[in-house]
Amino acid sequence: MDRLAQTFARCKAEGRPAFVSYVCAGDPDVETSKAVLLSLAQNGADVLEVGVPFSDPLADGLTNQLASQRALEGGMTYDGLLDVLRAVRAGTDKPIVLYCYYNLLFSFGLDSYCAKVREAGADGLLVLDCPPEEADELIAASKKHGLANIFIVAPTTPPARISLIAKHASGFIYYVSREGVTGERSELAANLSSAVAEIRKHTSLPICVGFGVSTAAHVQAIAKVADGVVVGSALVNVVAAHKDKKDEAAAAIGAKVRELLAK
């Protein structure tokens, strides 16, 4: 059983959802990024979703766009990403999922990219702009190198297409609970329970809910219906707040996770 499957099985046995954290690799610099990711793992994150900095992050709201910009301006590169992955993998056995855009993989070569990130410690890929209808080469390269392919289901996805997505997905299904881009929200979508129930008709994979999850109350509400909860912008904002006091970033991000997990 791979790390993702083991993690979701363990969380289910413990009667709780997996906590999936998102931050951008290299934000605000490589060494701080390593410390932040390890702090997430040490303070309650079950799965580490790691953003790969990109100049045109079309699925991201302003918070995550600025995180990518800080990382790129700080000199983040593909080799820097591999450095971050290796350091995090050496410090934790928590699963690592890369949140990325297809052009990055395509430009390096799918097989080479998948091989190198797997060797560095990644467990899965969430490629935002590669739908399953166009993902044959990506899925083949991922399977060859032991990487899960996580696909997104949106509130507007019809049942027939949920079935298609589920057929090609592995690792887990990421349910985007709101239309639009990433970002903190004051309230969760009202139809979460029915939306997750519809997805369950088409797959036995774990279902994680993200986009707009910002508070402990949000986490607790999602815990009642899903197998995992994804928090991104609320954590990235902590990193942003410490971009000029980097030595405090890891402790601050750990405290934020504990706050989000408080009951």
CATH of residue 101? 3.20.20.70
Residue 257 tokens read as 């996770």
pLDDT at residue 260, rounded to an integer: 95
Q: How far apart are CA 173 and CA 83, in angstroms?
A: 28
**Is there a catalytic annotation at residue 111?**
no
27, 29, 46, 60: the catalytic one is 60
Q: How far apart are CA 203 and CA 198, in angstroms?
A: 10
pLDDT at residue 99, rounded to an integer: 96
The HSE-up count of residue 194 (CA atoms within 13 Å, CB side) is: 6
Residue 62 tokens read as 């302003």
Residue 231: domain span: 3-8+16-261
Phi then psi for 244, rounded to 5 degrees? -105, 0
Q: How far apart are CA 175 and CA 208, in angstroms?
A: 6
Total structural domains in the chain?
1
Q: Judge contact between 97 and 125, C-beta under 8 A.
A: yes
pTM, 2 dp: 0.94
Query: Which residue shows structure tokens 């239309």?
Result: 179
Phi then psi for 262, rounded to 5 degrees? -65, 145
Enumerate residue ranges in the chain where pLDDT < 70: 1, 178-190
**Is there a catalytic annotation at residue 134?**
no
49, 83, 184, 227: the catalytic one is 49
The H or E element spanning position 229 is: strand 228-231
Query: What pairs with residue 151 in β-bridges?
Result: 173
3-class secondary structure, 52:
coil
pLDDT at residue 62, rounded to an integer: 85
Q: Judge contact between 66 and 53, C-beta under 8 A.
A: no
